[in-house]
């Protein structure tokens, strides 16, 4: 085999490993722009944003598609993590690792905790926690979220960026009206909560206003990399015995409300 043929075959074999076309798995961004990261767990939670955005490239890492482009004139990367803390954490870790992310907005639906709340109300998190992290013994569950050694110290709360919290709250009030917007703790765990007694526990133990399955994971990763973040949760249900029915009836509307608030926030960046 002559030298030219050998070089051609070598290049042909290496091509799948080094390409960077739109949508290619493992490729790298084609620019060095700064971006706002927008993350959700499910497709319906970012569908409006993707429709409104001008997507310039879509890259895939770990099976997750990262859509980079502009939205309301701002550079954004929009992605869907999947449900649960593990998928949320791995998605945000890759987002920050592959793009120059200045801040992260986590948008989507959650279950309401307070009696005075209504389905389709909005909760802007001031802090988040993992309500299901701790020690389970014969005498019950003990929350130890901030103690890696399980030694019995109190659990940990992760504060959201105060400037982003204020902007998210003001934007939500403008979109939905003040009577439909709340600020407070969002408690995360790897369960879909549909239990009145557990809702009472979350309010009593964590002073929670909403529960979901991802926010604490987003917070942990963003804090690890010193990236400001905001959590916007629209209530699709009240996390009670009727949660499944309410979620099916109002999930899409709640998710769209969250998207509208994100669009309003982007006007101020």
Which tokens in the block code for residue 20?
């960077």
Residue 155 CA, chain-centre distance (Å), reads 21
Decide if 174 is catalytic.
no
Rounded Cα gap, residues 149 and 131, in angstroms: 17
Quote the strand ranges of the chain, DSSP E.
34-40, 54-61, 64-71, 74-80, 100-112, 122-130, 134-137, 140-143, 158-159, 181-188, 208-212, 229-237
Residue 161 CB burial class (10 angstroms; 0-12, 13-18, ≥19): middle
Contact 108, 47 (CB under 8 A): no
Rounded Cα gap, residues 100 and 222, in angstroms: 13
Paired residues of 187 in beta bridges: 129, 211
Length of the chain counted residue by residue:
269
The one catalytic residue in 45, 121, 212, 214 is: 45
Contact 45, 91 (CB under 8 A): no
The one catalytic residue in 93, 156, 214, 237 is: 237
Rounded Cα gap, residues 150 and 207, in angstroms: 23
Decide if 45 is catalytic.
yes
Contact 60, 23 (CB under 8 A): yes
Question: Nearest-CA neighbor of 79 among 58, 54, 103, 102?
Answer: 58
Query: Which residues form the catalytic set?
Result: 45, 237
């Amino acid at each position: 085999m002559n030298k030219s043929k050998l070089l051609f075959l070598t290049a042909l074999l290496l091509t799948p490993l080094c390409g960077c076309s739109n949508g290619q798995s493992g490729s790298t961004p084609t620019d060095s722009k700064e971006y706002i990261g927008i993350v959700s767990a499910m497709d319906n939670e970012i569908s409006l944003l993707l429709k409104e955005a001008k997507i310039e490239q879509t890259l895939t890492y770990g099976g997750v598609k990262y859509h980079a482009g502009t939205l309301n004139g701002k550079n954004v990367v929009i992605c869907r993590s999947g449900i649960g803390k593990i998928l949320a954490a791995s998605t945000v870790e890759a987002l920050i690792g592959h793009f120059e992310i200045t801040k992260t907005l986590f948008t989507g639906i959650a279950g309401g905790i307070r009696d005075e709340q209504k389905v389709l109300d909005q909760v802007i998190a001031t802090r988040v926690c993992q309500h299901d992290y701790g020690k389970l013994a014969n005498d019950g569950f003990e929350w130890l979220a901030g103690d890696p050694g399980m030694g019995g110290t109190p659990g940990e709360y992760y504060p959201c960026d105060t400037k982003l919290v204020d902007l998210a709250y003001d934007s939500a009030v403008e979109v939905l009206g003040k009577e439909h917007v709340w600020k407070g703790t969002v408690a995360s765990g790897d369960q879909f909560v549909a239990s009145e007694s557990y809702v009472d526990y979350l309010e009593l133990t964590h002073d929670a206003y909403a529960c979901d399955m991802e926010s604490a994971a987003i917070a942990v990763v963003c804090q690890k990399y010193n990236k400001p973040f905001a959590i916007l949760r629209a209530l699709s249900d009240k996390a009670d015995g009727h949660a499944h029915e309410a979620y099916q009836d109002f999930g899409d509307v709640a998710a769209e409300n969250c998207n509208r608030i994100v669009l309003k926030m982007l006007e101020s960046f």
